[in-house]
Amino acid sequence: MINRRFFTTLTATATLAVLQSKAKATQRPNLLFIMTDQQRFDALSLAGNTILKTPNMDRIGKEGAYFSLANSQCPVCGPARTSLMTGRSVEKTQVRTNMATDERDITPMPCYDELLSDTGYRTEYYGKWHAPLGRALKYDNAVAPAGMHEWERGPGLSKEYEGYLKGKVNRIKLYNNPEYANSGLQEQTFDHRSYKPNPLDTRYGMEPGIKTDGNGDKLKVAQPDQHGISTVPKEHTITAVQAKQTLAALERLAKRDEPFSLHCSFHCPHSPITPSEPYASMYKPKDMPVPESIDDPMDNSPYINENGRKRLSQYRDHDKIKYMIANYYALVKEIDIWLGEILDKMDELGIAENTMVIFTSDHGEMLGAHGMREKNIFYEESVHVPLMIRFPGRIKAGTKVDAPVSQIDLYATIQDYLGIEKTASDGESLRRYIEGTSNEKDACAVAEWNWRGPVQPNLMVRTRQWKYFIPNTADSKVMNVLYDLKNDPLEMNNLLGNNPKAEKNRKQAEFMKGLLVQWLEKTDSPHLAGVKKRGAVNAGQ
């Protein structure tokens, strides 16, 4: 028989549970935005990679929506990140180069986190920033003007990380040091700790700590020139530190009453391509496949001289490129392992159900495709990026979107799903494809790169099957490009340019140019007139 005290207690407990459930249902959702740097679209097992396994990245896509044809707005760090965060074109943000991000007030429009901050969100950002510093001032973990972003403001700038390493991983004096004369070590320019170069490295086989080349001139070694295995222990890598910062932030933010937006921006797999152990040993160079397009002569491509392609012949070396691929995969694998820790922490804290998770990268990495390294161009390996969005109860698990989309749409997507007032942008919410209210077959995506105008194409537009890129002026000597991605997925047969059958592709070229013109009109681009005057097949045609 149930006595009155037991019944009263039972009723009170049930009532409390109902109230807690209702409170949880009405609580404003959180946002966790995770970004890697320079991760190409197929460095992901969900994209079909059978060598690199990324179960935690895959988990976000499988438990939410996976976008198979996501594109960077600009395949260059600073412009890409600024457009992504503000929802505006490169011309609107005015960030056309990486160097422009050092101009604090260059971009006049707010980023999505500033809008969230204005509506009561606690906003925190960890990792690589590389956008205009003026847009970082509202973050709640800022110390002085965007001070926390000294962790990594731009290429080679990692002041706070270097400070973190002091006392944990000593900097070794390599030059003229007998103790390391036969070590084969060199000092990495990013964290100034030693690493063991592989045959792709600029200083491979040279004296440890060497400072001058064979002519006695100062040896110039950029981040992309460094390949090998780092001596930094796994618990102190830049990836580990950035992940631990995010985990600590989750612990704190979960205890607060207000909703949060937390951004974790990993440096890797951006160069230097120098993973630590045990990750470095997970992928053997001998087992890596050589890119099918590595020997592309590119005699009908505007990129034949880009990214130092002719000068850096080692990226066309079938044996050497395998080292880069193996170590690049190791860096991605390390991130994936830490991402698992972050997702598990959300489950442990009970916040996963009410948190929108976005995973993407700012641009890709050529990784030997077409005999090239790095990004900066409109080939798939450079401009095509991973994108997954998970939001339990709002986005159906297992959703796959095959429409070409742009990262510029994320600004509007965040506003839409988090329920904040819509503000002007050059993108549209991705809900239209997630919920199937727009026809994927009619979709297209545009990318920009408006710096190297005289020698490079400036604008790209792609549909599911076709990709088209051109300069933004009528008289440029840079050739127009059209690729049939269905029949030429490696982009080795430009149907325009010097192709003797170029005229037969006029109809498709005109159609693609029309899509680009529509986008330029919509975004009020200063390049609209130049593109309109430009011939669809080639200049003057």
Residue 494: which CATH number?
A: 3.30.1120.10
Structure confidence at residue 76 (pLDDT):
93
* pLDDT grade for 19, boundaries at 50, 70 and 90: very low
Q: Are residues 307 and 204 in the same domain?
A: no
Last residue within a domain, chosen from 183, 210, 231 = 231
Is residue 114 in some structural domain? Answer: yes
Is residue 24 in some structural domain? Answer: no
Structure confidence at residue 96 (pLDDT):
87
The yes-or-no verdict on residue 129 having pLDDT over 90 is no
Q: What is the maximum alpha-carbon separation in the chain?
A: 97
Structure confidence at residue 13 (pLDDT):
45
**H/E stretch holding 481:** strand 481-484
Is residue 340 in some structural domain? Answer: yes
Structure confidence at residue 452 (pLDDT):
62
Q: Are residues 462 and 533 in the same domain?
A: yes
Is residue 224 in some structural domain? Answer: yes
Range with the poorest average pLDDT among 114-118, 126-130, 456-460, 531-535: 126-130
CB contact at 8 A, 336 and 56: yes
Q: Are residues 520 and 376 in the same domain?
A: no
Last residue within a domain, chosen from 231, 252, 272 = 231
pLDDT in tens, 94-125: 898 888 887 878 999 999 999 999 999 999 99
Angle between helices 55-62 and 320-349 (to 10 degrees): 60
Give rounded-to-5 percent helix, strand, coil for the chain.
Answer: 35, 15, 50
Q: Token match 């506003």: residue?
A: 415
Please tell me whether residue 31 adopts helix, strand or coil conformation: strand
DSSP secondary structure code for residue 264 in this structure: E
* pLDDT grade for 167, boundaries at 50, 70 and 90: confident
Q: How many domains, in total, are found in the chain?
A: 3
- For residue 282, how many other CB atoms are within 10 A of its CB? 15
Mean pLDDT of the chain: 90
Structure confidence at residue 523 (pLDDT):
95
- Rounded CA gap, 536 and 456, in Å? 16
Cα–Cα distances (Å) from 402 to 60, 254, 365, 386, 395, in that order, read 16, 34, 21, 12, 16
Between residues 26 and 206, the one the model is more confident about: 206
Residue 194's domain spans which residues? Answer: 170-231
The yes-or-no verdict on residue 237 having pLDDT over 50 is yes
pLDDT in tens, 488-518: 999 999 999 999 999 999 999 999 999 999 9
pLDDT in tens, 351-409: 999 999 999 999 999 999 999 999 999 999 999 999 999 999 999 999 999 999 999 99
Point out which residues pair with 483 in neighbouring strands: 467
Last residue within a domain, chosen from 438, 460, 494 = 438
Q: Are residues 154 and 246 in the same domain?
A: yes
CB contact at 8 A, 69 and 465: no
Structure confidence at residue 98 (pLDDT):
81
CA-closest candidate to residue 512, choices 536, 487, 484: 536
Q: Are residues 490 and 375 in the same domain?
A: no
Q: What is the mean pLDDT of residues 66-83?
A: 96
